[in-house]
Structure 1
């Protein structure tokens, strides 16, 4: 062939190794946290997903786009386990690929907020203090001692890009017409009596 064949330029990576924003059964203290996240993260920090609403399942919570805020945790994968963790979470959340008709959730990039911290003393909420020698991973500062529980996120002055699992289109339509909105956007305090119901 004489004509040069070109492949579309994918451009810069959209995600690198973004942190994850979790808001339901993956939160610290909830059942799926230990099953899927224990030993696979280096830091966890309270965070807020703006422009979102939180609904009760059935079974587990769903975040959808809306005029509200969802409270959760921003976490960063431990070095060397990002691909494994991404696969585990995709499987748990029944995410088969962008726009797949059998998706329960869609994995999307959203900006999350790290509330009320100026940088001094960060990390004390998550693990009793920030790690030493932090480095930036996917646009997020992570403590460098590798012991787990270090600081996650920037200086609290701006949003952080993260993966978020939002309800897929069919689920969102169902929730908007007959779902149970969780006032205040906090799964731990707003879920129905009896605690989380996991599959």
Structure 2
């Protein structure tokens, strides 16, 4: 061994039939003899197991994932309430138009579907903006960190589907309220 040209780090992998402890004991003996340490002297080197480091990172990533799910859940709830409020305002502002549509023969189901589509469209716009932010963030993260952050088609489809479902749920009550308006009362309300 050319000790003078050795780096400060050596990476060693055990053969399948050798345990980590056996490898650590063997490495300790070899490095102690290379460093010419006396039996009573403390080691002037460290042996780190990647399993311990990997476990620490795994725990960190699990915590980050849990926090991400919590933040994502709250974001969905807040977004849902935002869409519901927008839809309630939309119904209120268009009460007169709803009355005219119903007096011209529009069925309750048509009015319901009209407002549900609007709510889903609004949530898809929000989901699209969120998707663009995630794409930009993953690209920036790839450039800064130096390893690729993957965004799979499955996750994109799940995100779009989740946005649609949130829009459907958030828009249902305002759409139902709009579909049940009495045409005469609706035309009279904003007149």
TM-score surpassing 0.5?
A: no
Q: Give the structure with the higher percent helix.
A: 2
* Structure ID, larger Rg: 2
TM normalised by structure 2 equals: 0.21
Q: Give the structure with the higher percent strand.
A: 1
TM normalised by structure 1 equals: 0.21
